[in-house]
Amino acid sequence: MMKTSSKMLFMMMTIISTIIVISSSNWLNMWMGMEINLMSFIPLTFKSKNNFLSQSSMMYFLIQSMASTIFIIIILMYKYMFINMNNTSIMKIIIMITMMMKMGMPPLHMWFPEMMSKISWNMCVMLMTWQKIAPMYILSLIMENNKLMMMMIMLSTIMGAILGLNHTSIRKIMAYSSINHVGWMMAAAMINKKLWMMYMMLYSLMIIPMCMNLSKYNIMYINQFNIKSLSMTEKLSFMIMMMSMGGMPPFLGFMPKWMTIEYMIISNEMMMLTVMMLSSLITLSYYMRMISSINMMMSNSQKWVILNKTNKMSTTNMLYINMMFPLFMLLMNFM
């Protein structure tokens, strides 16, 4: 078990390394930041002496190292062979593929759900949010509005939606949902370089309370909702979080998609938008499957019980975030 001081050190290194990437104007510094991030994140995944966890950490290390190796080779070619990055589309495509590999996007995504199923809920949050910021930032720098980029975005949203239908593991479902959301972020970055940052911020606000509650009740699979004895308040909390994750209005999860849809309509990207919206309906369907499982469960008490102080505060905060924040955004839109 890692000591608290060591855990804090590695956590700080993970945060600082991402800041190095997004504040750098030099490709080599960006590569260095991602390597520090890799070396500091892997120790955080070790919570016990578990062979499966060791295998998943090694798999994560190999995938990230492979992508980083390709990335540094391209940088060195650009630096010492005097190749103009702006005029070399093939080099941009290679960098784009390496960043997509780092984020676990199709067709290089198979490691991501497996990794998600082995690590703790806290590390799942890190992997779905913070660990995607650095590659997504680099991707936004070189991204162009072309047919290849549109195909990769549509592939990400479609595969993230369809592949999640066959699973009962909540971690894997959320992994494929994350792949779908990254597709939306890429579409946002392609149209507006700052829009994807707003999307990531709102996505993080959704994912953190969801994973905290799943960790608190130790829920790993959909059928465990039938076993757990939850009050009506706790059921409502889970249902609101899942509807928000599925992107149902007027909850928080709809807001980043709404902003992206507006920009895509202005840019006249109607075909890609149609595919993305249909894929979002599929992702909503497997969150609705979880909601139906919650509604069907037989608990000992169906009352709106008074929770203890900690549970009450976390539930109230979650309700405010998922319901009041969208209303605030609506008011700001009309002002």
pLDDT at 308: 47
Model confidence at 2, in pLDDT bands (50, 70, 90)?
A: low
Residue span of the structural domain in which 119 resides: 4-221+228-334
Cβ 231 vs Cβ 301: under 8 Å:
yes
User: CA 156, 157, 161, 163: dihedral to nearest 10 degrees?
Assistant: -10
- Which of 12-16, 71-75, 323-327 is predicted least confidently? 323-327
The structure tokens 């939606």 sit at 161
Q: Are 101 and 188 in contact (CB under 8 A)?
A: no
Which of 92, 123, 225, 209 has its CA nearest to residue 170?
225
Cα torsion 87, 89, 94, 97: sign: positive
- Name the nearest CA neighbour of 211 among 164, 171, 168: 171
In this structure, are residues 142 and 96 in contact, taking their beta carbons and an 8 Å threshold?
yes
pLDDT digits (tens, 9 = 90+) for 8-64: 899 999 999 999 999 998 899 999 999 999 999 998 887 656 666 677 788 899 999
pLDDT tens, residue by residue, 221-252: 888 877 666 777 778 888 888 888 888 888 88
Query: What is the total count of domains within the chain?
Result: 1
Percent of the chain with pLDDT over 90: 43
Peptide bond into 250 cis (omega under 30): yes
Residue 172 in this model has a pLDDT that exceeds 70:
yes
